Amino acid sequence: MWLTRLLQMTAGAVMAALLGACATTTNVDYRSDYDFSTLHSFRLVPPATPGSSDTRINSPLVEARIAHAIRDHLAAQGYTVTDGDADANLTWQLTTHAGLESADTGFSVGIGTFSRHSMLGFGYGFPGYDVNSYDEGVLTIDMLRTGDDTLLWRGSDSRRLADGATPDSLTDMINDLVDRILRKFPPH
């Protein structure tokens, strides 16, 4: 009985550590002296220059996906997205960031029974020397005051870019990024 409980607690701790290591953090900054409840409409302003020379993300097709995802998310929150006069302008930038990762150590727990006997085993893997590089796509969304383009709110998040992405996988990635970022708007 105690052995089963010990295994459950160990497995839970390992899963929590693994899930925590995989999570990304949405970064948000905003003007604390601004009343965000006055914002009801937004005008989308595509970026003037591409944020990256990476052809996987520097594309009019990707820009259209970002605009569509932002428009859909804001509409679902009850905001109006217009091409005319609006309470704030909204723009975005999609850039890439190179990262490195190395092989981690491994830890495992096993339990077995034979006849009336139970056994508990632990395993540990030594770190390897494999180092891999990868690219992350970083989406930053800015909300600017109409008229003087003062930055009111900024949110950013990232996702690992996959080689051989399809239109569906790019759309899913962008929708996920936009949702995670705009979920933090308005600030509380």
By the 10 Å C-beta count (0-12 exposed, 13-18 middle, 19+ buried), 104 is classed as: exposed
pLDDT-wise least confident of 41-45, 46-50, 59-63, 139-143: 46-50
Higher confidence at residue 105 or residue 184? 184
Higher confidence at residue 20 or residue 61? 61
What pLDDT was estimated at residue 17? 42
Owner of token pair 């085993």:
121
4: pLDDT strictly greater than 70: no
Q: What is the average pLDDT value for the chain, to the nearest integer?
A: 81
Distance CA 42, CA 85 (A): 8
- Mean pLDDT across 23-39: 90
Q: What is the pLDDT of residues 148-159, one digit of tens each?
A: 999 999 999 999
By the 10 Å C-beta count (0-12 exposed, 13-18 middle, 19+ buried), 50 is classed as: middle
Distance CA 54, CA 135 (A): 10
What pLDDT was estimated at residue 15? 45
pTM: 0.72
